[in-house]
Amino acid sequence: MAFMEILIAEHSGFCEGVERAFRIAIETARAGKPVFMLGNLVHNKQVVERLNNFKVKTVTELSEIPAGTNGTLLISAHGVPPEVYAEAKKLKLAVVDTTCPWVKKAQKIARQLADEGRLVIIVGDRGHPEVKSLLGWSSGQGVVVENEADLVGLSLAPAKKVGIIAQTTQSTEHFNNMAASVKNKVKDVVEFDTICGATTKRQSAAIEIARQVDLMLVVGDKMSANTKRLSELCAETGTETHQIQTVDELNNDWLVGKEKIGITAGASTPEWIIEDVLTKLNYSLK
């Protein structure tokens, strides 16, 4: 096989928010009390499995936690709506909150905008836990828009007061386009780009690498919103792009005829998964 070069994008893999959540979760599990994780701490199957090995139990509803457990509730890096804290208190659960500080900031802005009587438009993925949390912090005045079609369906009378925020892992370009469309329809709009710094840096670095290579591999869980976005942005450069969850999904046929291969990974992808991919690539390229 001809010589091929591998370029790894800067800022690939665990971001500071995910690293922090993972570290706190492990420390909490080691304290010895029963630990329950509401949803997935981060969107990565292998990370969640590792936590489950530390006896951290995943629940989808607080009602799944037996009464009188005297346990600890781990709140994920994506955050939760305010009522979850109240519910946990009622159940006498200790709360360990790993909500990323960037998400906390977006939640606070959502609440402030709602308090000002604004319609809170959240640009994000409707089913994502972070977006559900932002809706909760919008005090019943929030709506989620994923794309222009969603905006068309919204009643945005010119007199309406609107605030617009983003899921922390959206692309800046998409957020700016959506904000511009809202401003075309409503006069009183305040806009907060709540996209996190880690996401912006990761996306720019990935695009830069994607432009230089003839195959781009994006490593990360299919459930991970930021990995999906990364994949879309790399594909938009025109370079052949594949998202793989683990090394098992790496197809050797993709490598045929390629001279430069780029790699990036989502914020919830642990180092060990990226290393597995690199090991297989290095082996395949020999």
At closest approach, how far in Å is the CB of 241 from ligand SF4? Answer: 20
- 16 or 276: CB nearest ligand SF4: 16
Interface residues with ligand SF4 (CB under 6 A)? 15-18, 77, 100, 102-103, 168-169, 196, 198-199, 226, 267
CA 35, 36, 42, 48 dihedral sign is positive
| Residue 61 bears catalytic tag | no
Residue with the shortest CB distance to ligand SF4: 17
- 36 or 102: CB nearest ligand SF4: 102
Which strands make up the sheet holding 72-75, listed edge to edge?
56-59, 35-38, 72-75, 94-97
- Cα 231 from Cα 217, distance rounded (Å): 8
- Cα 154 from Cα 165, distance rounded (Å): 16
At closest approach, how far in Å is the CB of 267 from ligand SF4? Answer: 4
- Out of 130, 208, 271, 275, pick the active-site residue: 130
At closest approach, how far in Å is the CB of 184 from ligand SF4? Answer: 29
- 239 or 245: CB nearest ligand SF4: 245
At closest approach, how far in Å is the CB of 71 from ligand SF4? Answer: 24
- 11 or 162: CB nearest ligand SF4: 11
Catalytic machinery residues: 130
